[in-house]
């Protein structure tokens, strides 16, 4: 059986989750991303639920900047994303 490449192991997050975090980080704060991922049933590479720290780690490891909400911006994007996630999860 061949060995894993350096930096690869069985406990990595799926590409789907990483890409979802990348997309959600454009419009959501980390706390909102957590509240979307957990109800949809997504888990970390080792099967844990998501926390803000875990989302921050994925963003940092993949070079994804945090969403910056300005006080002048309306908060509609978060509401739309949460609404979409709830529809997808059939909550």
Compute the average pLDDT of residues 62-77: 67
Neighbours of 25 (CB within 10 A): 21
CA 81 to chain centre: 12
Percent above pLDDT 90 for the chain? 43
Please indicate whether residue 47 or residue 72 has the higher confidence score (pLDDT).
47
Please indicate whether residue 49 or residue 87 has the higher confidence score (pLDDT).
49
Compute the average pLDDT of residues 32-54: 92
Alpha-carbon distances of 48 from 20, 41, 51, rounded to whole Å: 17, 10, 9
Residues near 78 by beta carbon (within 8 Å), at least 6 away in sequence: 27, 28, 29, 32
Q: What is the pLDDT of residue 14?
A: 84
Compute the average pLDDT of residues 30-49: 92
Q: What is the pLDDT of residue 58?
A: 92
């Amino acid at each position: 059986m061949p060995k894993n490449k350096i930096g690869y192991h069985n406990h990595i997050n799926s590409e789907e989750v990483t890409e979802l975090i990348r997309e959600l980080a454009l419009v959501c704060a980390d706390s909102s991303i957590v509240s979307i991922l957990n109800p949809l049933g997504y888990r970390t590479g080792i099967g844990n639920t998501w926390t803000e720290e875990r989302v921050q780690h994925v963003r940092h490891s993949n070079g994804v900047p945090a969403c910056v909400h300005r006080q002048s911006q309306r908060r509609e994007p978060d509401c739309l994303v949460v609404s979409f996630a709830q529809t997808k999860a059939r909550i």
